[in-house]
Amino acid sequence: MNKENGIRQLAPQALWSNFADLNQVPRPSKREERVIEFMKGFGKKLGLDTSVDDVGNVVIKKPASPGKEGRPTVILQAHLDMVHQKNAGTDFDFESEGIRSFVDGEWVKAEGTTLGADNGIGVAAIMAVL
C-alpha cells in the first residue's frame, strides 16, 4: 500500500480521502487560484450552486433537506491556503507540488514540509459534510 492510500483508509474515510485530494493541490498563501478552481469543481461535481466572490471566497450552497426548508441556514467556513514551510535540506516547490503526506502510527505527517492541516482538515470536513 502506498503512503497516500494509507491516509485514504483512515476513518472517517470521506474526511481523510478529501484531505488527501486537497493536499495534491498546491495552495500556498497568496496563490490560491488552483485550490479555488479545485473547490469550484468539487461543488459543481456535486451539482451544487457554486460561486466565487470578489475576494476569492468559494461559496457552495446546498439546499435544505426535505422538511427542513424553514430551519436557519448553517454556514461552514475554513480557509483554503496553507503556510508553506519546509525542513532544511528538503527539495520541494510549493508552487507546483502537492504535499506528500503519510500515516506514521497514530499521526498523519508530511515528508519534509508542513502538512497543510491548518485549515485543510477543516476544508476536508466541509467537503465530507456536503
Convert the pLDDT of each residue in 77-93 to its tens digit.
999 999 999 999 999 99
Question: Rounded to two decimals, what is the model's pTM?
Answer: 0.92
pLDDT at residue 122 above 90? yes
CB atoms within 10 A of CB 114: 16
> Environment class of residue 32 by beta-carbon count within 10 Å: exposed (0-12), middle (13-18) or buried (19+)?
buried
Taken in order of first residue, the domains within the chain and their CATH numbers are 3-129 (3.40.630.10)
Alpha-carbon distance of 104 to 80, in angstroms, equals 25
Q: How open is the CA angle 20-1-18, to the nearest 5 degrees?
A: 15
- Residue 1 vs residue 75, higher pLDDT: 75
Alpha-carbon distance of 35 to 73, in angstroms, equals 25
Convert the pLDDT of each residue in 1-50 to its tens digit.
455 669 999 999 999 999 999 999 999 999 999 999 999 999 999 999 99
